[in-house]
Amino acid sequence: MTKSTPTDQVEIPTLVVGTAYSLGAVSEGRIMTMAAASPPNSTDPVDQAAIEVLKANYVGLEVPEVAADDVDPASLKRRYSLARIRRYNRQDGHIDDRVIMRGDLDAVLEKVKISKEQTRLVKKNAAVVIRNGWRPLAVARAKVDHNDIVGAFRLEGFIPVAPEGHAGDDMDVSTGPAVWARVRVWSASLRFQHWLNVAVIFILSCTGIFIMDPFFGATALGTDASGYLMGIIRLIHFIAAFVWLIIGAARIWSAFMSRDRYLRWPSMWPLKSKDDVKHLGQILQHYALIKEHAPLYLAHNPLQQLAYTSVYIACGLQMLSGFVLYGLYHPSNPFWSLVSLPAAWFGVGVVRLFHTLMMFGLWAFVIMHIYLVLRAESLERHGGLSAMINGGVWVKRGAEPVDAPKVE
């Protein structure tokens, strides 16, 4: 890899070019030769970087010269350039005229003759370089016949290009907006509910522990002056419980009414398609350190969603068991006595035990949740932790998440 610094304009970024990827017909050096084809003294940073790589790493291969009039630069509408090389020295020693197409991989793929299998292969290899912060710059070529007619374009491969310092295994978001894009995922209402849940579960746990084992105050000291401490603690538990019920109801309401697809009920199903099942296997292998990469999901991947949906169900059961116990205080009220029926079926002790075990289960989830968030935060650097505060995650430009459009 080498670099090139344009001399006349400071705003143009310095680019680096990585090892070329060849589809097999020509060598990597030849791909670089075609990518470097440019008019003399070109100030295009890609030309300069490719030329430097060619000179430094591919001894014996010359930069093909192109007349300025033979270059048709890329534009916003047509994301590839065309350059005609007159008298190109081919790998087999022959000389021909050819046109080189160089540019955005997707744009070039639309123009070339290529099999499905090769498209899949080139995209797979491009995805790897994209994950490492590069942009694949496709290189295709077409022959020009004696009547000056340009034939069909054939994709030869691509060269990875990146602003200097942004590529390789560098996962630091601070490298800037040229490489990373901020994508909004979580709505304000979901984030608000998340943190309210944290507060409410904390209060319910503290008060619940005290109800289970009044370890301080008059009761703990074994004195007669028990005061009303337990009553107050239980009242706090019940108020928090009703707040939690409202949060739960709001979440169900948003699952059916919200326009945000990350809130709607289908997002709760972890395995919606065959692909999700396949991805689940790949993600498990990634977590087991068998596979290096796992499919990218902006919101929750199937494994995460499986865990979160289970937690939703666990929370529902915890509410249910809580209200079964709560109903025991209102035997004369038909609604509450109906709610407390499971206590009659299983026994109050079983329901209390279940309610307590669910608390420890939720704690186990919280501990794992915090560990995994911090782990992902430090390894993947996509800002998952801050996403629950400001709603957005960082994703590398060019990445193609399974559950969202390509990140440009």
Q: Using CB under 6 A as the criterion, which residues of the chain lie in contact with ligand HEM when the complex forms?
A: 201, 204-205, 208-209, 211-212, 234, 237, 241, 244-245, 318-319, 322-323, 325-326, 352, 355-356, 359, 362
Nearer to ligand HEM, 209 or 307 (CB): 209
- The minimum distance between CB 126 and ligand HEM, in angstroms, equals 47
- The minimum distance between CB 359 and ligand HEM, in angstroms, equals 4
Tally Cβ neighbours within 10 Å of residue 273.
Answer: 11
- The minimum distance between CB 214 and ligand HEM, in angstroms, equals 10
CA distance 90 to 85: 11
Nearer to ligand HEM, 130 or 358 (CB): 358
Minimal CB distance to ligand HEM: which residue?
322
Nearer to ligand HEM, 247 or 404 (CB): 247
Nearest CA to 185 among 301, 313, 312, 284?
301
Nearer to ligand HEM, 165 or 217 (CB): 217
Nearest CA to 4 among 138, 134, 161?
161
- Beta bridge mates, 80: 103
CA distance 90 to 33: 11
CA distance 54 to 61: 7
Torsion of CA 90, 54, 65, 107, to 10 degrees: 80
- The minimum distance between CB 308 and ligand HEM, in angstroms, equals 16
Torsion of CA 396, 6, 36, 24, to 10 degrees: -20
Nearer to ligand HEM, 287 or 360 (CB): 360
Q: What is the DSSP code string of 173-199?
A: GGG-TTTEEEEE-S-HHHHHHHHHHHH
- The minimum distance between CB 238 and ligand HEM, in angstroms, equals 6
First-last CA distance in the chain: 25
Torsion of CA 36, 72, 113, 136, to 10 degrees: 50
- The minimum distance between CB 313 and ligand HEM, in angstroms, equals 14
Pairing of strands 21-22, 71-72: unpaired
Nearer to ligand HEM, 71 or 240 (CB): 240
Nearer to ligand HEM, 212 or 277 (CB): 212
Please say whether the beta carbons of 303 and 278 come within 8 A: no
Nearest CA to 256 among 247, 248, 265?
265
- The minimum distance between CB 201 and ligand HEM, in angstroms, equals 5
- The minimum distance between CB 343 and ligand HEM, in angstroms, equals 10
Nearer to ligand HEM, 152 or 246 (CB): 246
